[in-house]
Chain A
Amino acid sequence: MSQLATDNASTRDKVQVKKNVKPLRSYLKPTLAYILLILGVIIVLVPLMWAAAASFTPNHKVFEYAYPFSWRALFPVDFTLEAYDNLLERGFGRAVGNSFFLAIATVVIGGAANALAGFAFGRFEFRGKQFLFLSVIMLTFMVPVDLTAIPRYILVNSFGWINTWQGLLVPGLANSLVIFLFRQFFAEIPQELIDAARVDGASWLRVLVSIILPISKPVLVAAGLLMFISQWNSFFWPLLIAPRQEMRVVQVEISLAIGQYGTVWNELLAGSMIAAIVPILLVMPFQRYYVQAITGTGLE
């Protein structure tokens, strides 16, 4: 504070000058901000627009407007559904179905398990609470799952779960970040709400279903989005655990497409666009919840 005061004294003469410039400066700042914002938007949108446009283009014309570059590269000027038709014929629909099935199962089963654990950490006092939270939740949150994939693979292999649905699904159900989100939310629910129901003799499970769940929409949406999208976008584990073709998920299918039919670019891009559009359509209407979900842990 004292330093700012000194600065104030030393710059007093300049303040007079600044006042005259102010109208210009007040235009300059937003203009500069918009220029930078638009530059960023170009970097974000151009790859997506080109990929989308190219996926609706005959394969021999995919690079036609990209090199040499013309604005037509960003719009499907030679529109065709050829790539999507071929992709479906190759059985890409099955991979999409697999990914949807896994993501929805993760949200439903994993969501229930994580919500229960989050509730216990948020509302109950019990022996070993602190220890369990630090040793299990915090530790598993900090160690990235891909780093421990090989011993997990050996473990799942010993269950005979290679190339099975349970091998794909079960290891990803519990999610410490999601437990963390639920804990934060449940801890802030007023005690009176719960007490009233408990006095009426309701069981804890009943309290959870009829009192807590109806008021928990924000955390349910946030946790649901987080689980759905991380399962939809997951790649390393499905790549290791389910090499069989009928069980391939979208992310694995498009990654193999690069090697298998590497020069059929429009199909590669069509697959990529299908993989991208699902999370985008989910995030856009629920932006606030999604941002809260992913930044939830960074500020605690």
Chain B
Amino acid sequence: MRLSRQLIPYLFLAPALLLLIVFNLVPTIATLVESTFILSLRSGERVFAGFANYNRIFNDPVFWKSLQVTIVFSLLVNPIQIFLALCLSILINQKLPGIGIFRSIYLLPIAVSLNVTAIVWGLMLDQNSGMINGILTQWGIARQPFLHSVDQALWSIIVIASWIGVPLWSLFILAGLQNIPPPVLEAAKIDGANAWQSFTRITLPLLRRVLAFVLVADTVANFLMFAPILLLTNGGPQLSTNLIMYETYRRGFLYGDLGASSAMLSVMLVIVFIIIGIELYVLRGQD
């Protein structure tokens, strides 16, 4: 009886924890292990290969190019999304008549999948007869190639990702804004702070934890951007949108080279761990 009472917590935990260990934790470790094997999807043979996979990808210009594209993409999309999300959260935090309707409308992109977003925006950005070009020509601006141009394709992906990303992350920042006790802001007002001063000296510092979380979560999410590339550009034109997650898929599942794919995923895993490490460090410093 006594023993069974001690066992109860573990019985409650067992189903979910076993599933998480088998399907999430083990594969995390296995990614690193798998990267030292060469495996053929067709024959199913696994051969230990040491660092051969890493050697191959590190000597592969396509890998470096996709890493470069991913870094450029990250440096653009994350600041843009977080800045716009901050603006949007301040906007929907205003106490205005009808603000609830606006908040509901801004929830729509969050419920829609990235696939649907990519398909709809892909057609809107169509170089021949898309609506965006329809609007541009009406304003007297020439038609743009968007997804078919080396210079504009990555920006098009940024727009598509931000249509979901900005409202999504603004929800987190909005929750942070609503956690700020109103007396704090009122006190600043009484002390003569103008709106900009109370924003930079009170609101922003109090939002630091939330913003740090959003920065990391957004960075990780965008680091894994995949569906719009698969659906719209296949990495092109000229590898200009060949983000790393798509490159791992192309190598592993289109070319059947799971070894190289695992090595790339290991590199990504290490990068994600570094990002998370920075997050934990920054958040610890706040307490």
A residues bordering B, Cβ < 8 Å?
Answer: 1, 3-5, 7-8, 11-12, 15, 30, 33-34, 36-37, 40-41, 43-48, 50-51, 54, 62-63, 66-69, 73, 112-114, 116-117, 119-121, 124-126, 129, 132, 135-137, 139-140, 142-152, 154-155, 170-171, 173-174, 176, 179, 204, 229, 232-233, 235-236, 240, 251, 254-255, 258, 265, 268-269, 272, 275-276, 279-280, 282-284, 287, 290-291, 294-295, 298-299
Report the Cα distance A294→B164, complex, angstroms.
14
Instruction: Decide: A287 and B175 in contact? CB cutoff 8 A.
Output: no
Within 8 A of A (CB), among B186-212: 188, 191-194, 197, 201, 209-210
Tell me if A's interface is mostly helix, strand, loop or mixed: helix
With A44-B105, A44-B106, A66-B131 known as contacts, the answer to whether A235 contacts B23 (CB < 8 A) is: no
With A269-B119, A294-B110 known as contacts, the answer to whether A124 contacts B9 (CB < 8 A) is: yes
Report chain B residues within 8 Å CB of A129.
Answer: 9
Report the Cα distance A171→B119, complex, angstroms.
27
Within 8 A of A (CB), among B9-65: 9-10, 12-13, 15-17, 19-28, 30-31, 33-34, 39
Indicate if B94 sits at the interface (CB-CB under 8 A).
Answer: yes
Report the Cα distance A50→B121, complex, angstroms.
10
In the assembled complex, 8 residue pairs joining A and B whose CB atoms fall closer than 8 Å, in A order, are: A63-B129, A66-B131, A150-B261, A171-B23, A174-B23, A254-B116, A255-B227, A291-B175
Within 8 A of A (CB), among B261-286: 261-262, 265, 268-269, 272, 276
Instruction: Decide: B276 and A298 in contact? CB cutoff 8 A.
Output: no
B47 to chain A, nearest CB (A): 14
Instruction: Decide: B24 and A145 in contact? CB cutoff 8 A.
Output: yes
Indicate if B165 sits at the interface (CB-CB under 8 A).
Answer: no
With A63-B129, A67-B129, A146-B224 known as contacts, the answer to whether A7 contacts B193 (CB < 8 A) is: yes
Report the Cα distance A51→B125, complex, angstroms.
13
Report chain A residues within 8 Å CB of B213.
Answer: 298-299
Q: Which of A43, A132, A269 contacts B17 (CB 8 A)?
A: A132
Q: Which of A4, A12, A36, A255 contacts B115 (CB 8 A)?
A: A255
From B69-77, B132-140, B145-153, B235-243, the one touching the partner chain is B132-140
Encoded as 1 (CB less than 8 Å from any A CB) or 0, chain B from 94 to 107 comes to 10100100111111
Closest to B271 in A: A147
Report chain B residues within 8 Å CB of A294.
Answer: 110, 168, 171
Instruction: Decide: B91 and A40 in contact? CB cutoff 8 A.
Output: yes
Report the Cα distance A140→B7, complex, angstroms.
24
Report chain B residues within 8 Å CB of A63.
Answer: 126, 129-130
Report chain B residues within 8 Å CB of A11.
Answer: 192, 194
With A69-B131, A150-B258, A299-B175 known as contacts, the answer to whether A136 contacts B109 (CB < 8 A) is: no
Q: Compute the total of residue contacts between A and B using a CB distance below 8 Å.
A: 286
Report chain A residues within 8 Å CB of B224.
Answer: 144, 146-147
Report the Cα distance A154→B111, complex, angstroms.
31
Instruction: Decide: B171 and A295 in contact? CB cutoff 8 A.
Output: yes
Tell me if B's interface is mostly helix, strand, loop or mixed: helix
Instruction: Decide: B111 and A136 in contact? CB cutoff 8 A.
Output: no
Report chain B residues within 8 Å CB of A48.
Answer: 108, 112, 120
Report the Cα distance A27→B84, complex, angstroms.
24
Indicate if B217 sits at the interface (CB-CB under 8 A).
Answer: yes
Encoded as 1 (CB less than 8 Å from any A CB) or 0, chain B from 224 to 246 comes to 10110011000000000000010
Indicate if B214 sits at the interface (CB-CB under 8 A).
Answer: yes
Instruction: Decide: A154 and B120 in contact? CB cutoff 8 A.
Output: no
Indicate if B220 sits at the interface (CB-CB under 8 A).
Answer: yes
B residues bordering A, Cβ < 8 Å?
Answer: 6, 8-10, 12-13, 15-17, 19-28, 30-31, 33-34, 39, 87-88, 91-92, 94, 96, 99, 102-117, 119-124, 126, 128-131, 133-135, 137-138, 163, 167-168, 171-172, 175-176, 179, 188, 191-194, 197, 201, 209-210, 213-214, 217, 220-221, 224, 226-227, 230-231, 245, 248, 252-253, 258, 261-262, 265, 268-269, 272, 276
Report chain B residues within 8 Å CB of A132.
Answer: 13, 17
Report chain A residues within 8 Å CB of B163.
Answer: 43-44, 47
Instruction: Decide: A73 and B20 in contact? CB cutoff 8 A.
Output: no
Report chain B residues within 8 Å CB of A120.
Answer: 9-10, 12-13
Q: Report, nearest first, the 7 A-B pairs whose CB atoms are least far apart.
A: A8-B192, A69-B134, A151-B30, A174-B19, A67-B134, A117-B16, A233-B113
Instruction: Decide: A47 and B120 in contact? CB cutoff 8 A.
Output: yes
Instruction: Decide: B20 and A283 in contact? CB cutoff 8 A.
Output: no
